[in-house]
Structure 1
Amino acid sequence: MGGEVKLDRWGYQVNTSSDDCISAINSYYQQVLSYGRERSVILEASAHDPNCVLANILTAQFLCSSNPSRAPPHLEAAKAKLQQATAYEKAVFDAVSCLISPDRDDDVAYELLSKFLKDFPRDLVSLKKAQVLCFYMGQPDLSLDIVQQVLPKNEEEDYIYGMLAFPLLELGRMEDAAKAAKKGFEINKEDCWAQHGLCHVLQYECCFKEAVDFMEEHSKSWSSLSSFMYTHNWWHVALCYLEGNAPMRKVLEVYDHCIWKELERSDAVLAEVYLNALGLLLRVYVRGEIDIFGDRLKILAARLTDQAVWYLEWHFAVLVIWALGSTGAFDNGEELLKGLKSRISKMGRKKKQKMQRGMLLAEALYEYGKGNYNEALELLGPDFDANNCKTIGASDEQLDVFNEVWYVMMLNTGQATKAIEVLEERIKKREGASFMWRLLERGYSMLGRPEATTVAEKAKYLEAAYFK
């Protein structure tokens, strides 16, 4: 290693003589941790010092998702100067190279990041990358392990407790998740990931008005968030209005003024907005309320014929294929299904096995959109549980709509006995959701069971309980 060495935000050594380069790297760290919309600031780092290994490898990773054709020169530039790099930079290079490899083995990448964080535990951006990897592996247990591994070295750090809260949420440890999110919020009131964690807990506990009040109060701090995080937080707000049986115009207002309106911003990332818009519209559709949304689903579906956005991530593809099926865009729907199958066929054995459920879910949602409920149910099978589909890259809250689709299709095809059995178990875990009680009432009514009256009263009570 030769040349001048400077310290980054974590106190780790970086081989560069440029203060501007280090400043841009630190700004990038802040953008990643805060879900900011200015992550492209990393491009300035490699411009200030084209020989800096850390600047180039982080630039390459950023470009892999935003502009892939521009990534290779930065990867090569980092590789060319590796001998002059610090131990920290070399470790980041190895970890990122593995993460952006087209034939990445997720388990190998996780082990590499776990070892990296043992050596460099203060690097919270690498922790965030490890957690994102775990999210797409569908393994919140590993995500929790890795954040707990570095926690002793970061106990008073900004952002760490939001990162602790999320895997706890996904593991159903709501009390622990609430404590972690509250601690993160106390350290930084504008930590959107801690806010998001608290909203998840309130939503799960059916404290819908409290969740809405909390999120709307802090929404002033969201304008600098990425398109995904901005519209995702508003998706949560809309969902709370929907589940709490607020007037449907409240849900519509959030869709129009807080989700769809994001598309007017010049730096909006379209697919990130579409993801949250689709997630909300499917919830509305399942509840039989889509007509209130006029032609909004058709307008969105018309934008989804652009194949460039189809394969960005599996969760998005599943929602897209439902929208195409439900709006009659069958040629595009078939093309997307074919494309997903082609991608699965090229995966390694281990990855292919993991993604099989995601493929079946996509096929089932396409049939559901077309109104072919029997075919969709056959694809999902008699013991479907959307939580087993985490590898599509979705949280429990995002996946739950697919359970709702399953319940409704069972009732639509006369499978009331099975639907009742599943719904009764579901209600035991979360008693305050009126929609579940309405579905249960429907099941009892189909079989002429007297419990339908009591269940209807319970549903009516809950529908009036949250937003008076």
Structure 2
Amino acid sequence: MAPLRDCKAWQDAGLVLSTTSNEACKLFDAVLAQYATWTNNESLGGIEGCLSKLKAADPNFTMGHVIANGLELIGSGSSVRLNKELDSAMRTMMMLSKSQPLTEREKLHVSALDMFASGQLPKACDLWEQILQSHPTDLLALKFSQDTYFYLGYQTQMRDSVARVYPFWTSDIPLSSYVKGFYSFGLMETNFFDRAEELAHEALAINKTDAWSIHTIAHINEMKAEVRKGLEFMKETEDNWKNSDMLACHNYWHWALYFIEKGEYEAALTIYDNHIAPRCLSSGSMLDIVDNSSMLYRLHLEGVKLGDRWNNILQLTKKHSRDHILLFNDVHLLMSSLGAKDQKTTDELLTSLRELAKAPCEDHELSLAPSLGLPLCQAFVEFENGNCDKAVDLLYPIRYQLIEIGGSNAQRDVFSQLLIHAALNSKSQAKQNLARCLLRERDMMRPNSPMTERLIRKAAAVHSMA
């Protein structure tokens, strides 16, 4: 790893930090490096350790507050509405920023976080882009905007944001190979698979432990239903990414998806039991919780018996049922209460979301609740209650808008699977016909998918009985 940058090194990079403490500058770099690489580096003291030392080194360092609050808001999915400490930390940051002479770039960082905290995610991205136009190597602005575009489902913006700064990230700049990984992910999500794979491999040639670039290749194999290639790749590279504590659980999730695709449910459950569930229990992170619910729900759609696994995950998800920070998270929390047949938690989640969605507000996510979040959640409820026709009626009209609730194409595929299963199990001839249309469409997009073939056989059997 490159030596951590002091005040002068940041200045030489054209990214002045308003502090006289070299220690604060180095710790800021340490936190940024761990965030960009998805890894708590124990030799640095982990992100938490570095943040507390950073605050001690210079309590009035505004960018120190920016990175700490940003990671809390964007990295861990917290919100000022729910977290009084975070609310107070944001106020402190705003106060500090007004009381000292900051650079234009630092002021924009403060404003962007302020926008994000009030739920105005697209506006926050506009401000980070403003920073990147004049400071293309500002990694914090780049990474915050990448994560936020992901939450918004703004795939093209996520790709183009990196394209605009990519030529400036020469090999002498710390962490430049990780920017290749960011770019490859945006290319993959917009279906430029060949270029995405090429860049991910370039990044891995420089640093084989780049878990995000490995993750991009996992997505490409998933999108193309290249199951054997996917399984071999995950197995060959496991030692390189399993210590990336923030992303390892998610990479194991991708590995298990190939087994579900093949219909090898025991193999998928083995990965789930050995890696996904335990990592989720120890981290409690929202990404891990989402992976957990999503994995079990896919197995549930395939008719796999899951024992008490839903109850175990419910212990983690239950306390978040009234959070409503991202609709994408809400629907995954709902999967767990439905899976565990906990009617009370399901009702609580839906009722509190309806309430919040009623009030006019600037919050981007809540503004999508009436048209997208609630019908999507309701479709899951109807399907679980055996009302397949109703589930299709709710889900089919919004299928092309669902990208707006964020997540990746691979993650949102669970919604497509739900729609197909609901249509297949429907009483109506027209909806069974729709299921066959959806399967033909799926077959064109991901030729040779064993899952699609299984469902096509099921659809034929339903048809011959009708």
TM-score normalised by structure 2 residue count:
0.86
Structure 2: runs of 5 or more not aligned: 1-5, 41-45
- Pairwise mapping of residues 442-453 of structure 1 onto structure 2 (< 5 A)? 442-448=458-464
Aligned to 1:92: 109
2:210 pairs, out of 191, 195, 207, with 191
Cα distance in 1, alignment partners of residues 310 and 89 from structure 2:
41
The alignment status of 1:25 with 2:23, answered yes or no, reads no
Distance 1:311 1:103, change over 3 A: closer
The letter of the residue matching 1:422 is L
What residue in structure 1 maps to residue 92 of structure 2? 76
Q: Which residue of 1 aligns with 2:424?
A: 411
Who is 1:60 aligned against?
A: 69
**How many Å separate the matches in 2 of 1:376 and 1:62?**
37
Structure 1 residue 276, shift from structure 2 partner: 0.9
Aligned in 2, Cα 1:152/1:303: closer, same or farther, shift over 3 Å? closer
Aligned partners of 1:86, 1:281: CA distance in 2, in Å?
48
1:138-157 aligned at under 5 Å gives the runs 138-156=153-171, 157=176
Counterpart for residue 151 of structure 2: 136
Which residue of structure 2 lines up, in the alignment, with residue 453 of structure 1? none
Matched position secondary structure for 2:17:
strand
Give the letter aligned to residue 24 of structure 2: C
Name whichever of 218-227 and 392-401 sits farther off. Answer: 218-227
Residue pair 1:324, 1:369 contacting (<8 A) in 2 also: no
Q: d(CA) in 2 for partners of 1:310 and 1:214?
A: 37
Give the partner amino acid of 1:241.
F
1:155 and 1:346 map into 2 onto residues whose CA distance is 48
Q: CA deviation at 1:93?
A: 2.2
| Contact 1:6-1:17 within 8 A present in 2 as well | no
Other-structure match for 1:45: 54
Q: Which residue of 2 aligns with 1:225?
A: 244
Matched, 1:311 2:329: no
Equivalent AA in structure 2 for residue 15 of structure 1: S
Aligned partners of 2:28 and 2:103: how far apart in 1?
15
The amino acid of 2:254's aligned partner reads H
Deviation at 1:281, TM superposition (A): 0.6
User: Unpaired runs of 5+ in structure 1?
Assistant: 450-468
Distance 1:70 1:310 in 2: 16
Higher RCO (CA 8 Å, separation ≥ 6 residues): 2
Q: Shift in Å at residue 312 of structure 1?
A: 4.4
Residue of structure 2 in register with 1:287 after alignment:
302
Q: CA RMSD in A?
A: 2.5
**How many percent of aligned residue pairs carry the same amino acid?**
22
Q: 40-49 vs 391-400, which deviates more?
A: 40-49
CA 1:243–1:313: 2 relative to 1, 3 Å: same
Distance 1:69 1:347 in 2: 22
Write the letter of the residue equivalent to 1:109: A
Cα deviation, residue 412, structure 1: 0.7
Residue 328 (str. 1) matches residue 354 (str. 2): no
Q: Distance in 1 between matches of 2:302 and 2:119?
A: 40
- How many residues are paired up? 436
Distance 1:223-1:79 versus aligned 2 partners, 3 A rule: farther
The secondary structure found in structure 1 opposite 2:318 is coil
Query: Does structure 1 retain, via aligned residues, the 8 Å contact 2:154–2:406?
Result: no
Q: List per-residue Cα deviations over 1:336-358 (Å, max 9, x = no partner).
A: 00111222223548945544212
Of residues 162, 176, 179, the one that matches 2:198 is: 179
Q: Please list, as runs of the form range in 1=range in 2, the aligned pairs for 1:9-20 lying within 5 A after superposition.
A: 10-20=13-23
Counterpart for residue 238 of structure 1 = 256
Does the 8 Å contact 2:249/2:280 carry over to 1? Answer: no
* One of 287, 307, 313 as aligned partner of 1:300: 313
Task: Give the Cα separation in 1 of the matches to 2:420 and 2:72.
Answer: 41
Cα 1:308/1:225, change in 2 over 3 Å: farther
TM-aligned CA deviation for residue 406 of structure 1: 0.8
Q: For the structure 1 residues 347 and 275, does the alpha-carbon distance in structure 2 shift closer, same or farther, using more than 3 Å as the test?
A: farther
Tell me the distance in 2 between the aligned counterparts of 1:310 and 1:174: 36
Deviations 1:119-172 (A, max 9, x none): 111012211111122122221111122111111101432211111112222212
For 2:290, the aligned partner's letter is L
Separation of aligned partners in 1, 2:321 and 2:300: 26
